[in-house]
Structure 1
Amino acid sequence: MATKHEVKCINKTDRPNPHERIRAIGGVNADGTNWKLSQQDAIRGIEDGKWSFYVSVRGQIVNVIIGISRYGNKYLKTEADGEQPNNLLSLYECA
């Protein structure tokens, strides 16, 4: 069963394409330590059933899912987003 993790921060690239905009996601473990995964590792973990991710948007839980660009490239976005992963892009930069 996948363990569920809140995404609190991201690292962005300077790329305009949605599937290239997020380099990494991160958050805080139950023990207070920080975690960070590359977008590719997060996608692989979702596909393998290892992890699931969510963000809190104005107090609402929104699941992070895998989007596929019109060119067939996988990227992370939330269920509430269109092609642009705006809920994720609005998060703080990870250290």
Structure 2
Amino acid sequence: MAPRQITCITKVPNHHDSHRRIEAVGGGDWQHSEETAIANVKSDPTAYFVSEQGKSVLVKVQNHDGRDYLKTENDRFLPDNLLSLPEC
């Protein structure tokens, strides 16, 4: 799979846990559930990226309390690259 730029997210309604906020990611004419995106990143670590102000970072899978979730690599630029994206 060619790397896809994530340009929007769908948040879980009434999310309270910072590790369970994203329901889906998307860009252009595609949208993947969080579960699908996690599986894609596990099989290809370069599957998704986020760009902000000309800087791109890869999306990775992190685990918290036994649950996988999506986040961007540490870029020392924006702490919540994914969560700062607009809703799909």
- How far apart are the structure 2 equivalents of 1:12 and 1:68? 18
CA-atom RMSD in angstroms: 1.9
TM-score between the two structures when normalised by the length of structure 2: 0.85
**Alpha-carbon deviation of 1:50?**
8.8
Query: 2:9–2:82: 8 Å Cα contact kept in structure 1?
Result: yes
Which of 55, 66, 76 is the aligned partner of 1:72? Answer: 66
Q: Which runs of 5+ in 2 are unaligned?
A: none
TM-score between the two structures when normalised by the length of structure 1: 0.79
- How far apart are the structure 2 equivalents of 1:50 and 1:59? 21
How many aligned residue pairs are there?
A: 84
Query: 1:45–1:51: 8 Å Cα contact kept in structure 2?
Result: no
Deviations 1:39-81, CA, capped at 9 Å, x for gaps? 0010111222396100012210111110111x12100000027
Query: 2:38–2:69: 8 Å Cα contact kept in structure 1?
Result: yes
Structure 1 residue ranges, 4+ long, deviating more than 2 angstroms after superposition: 48-51
Q: Which runs of 5+ in 1 are unaligned?
A: 29-33
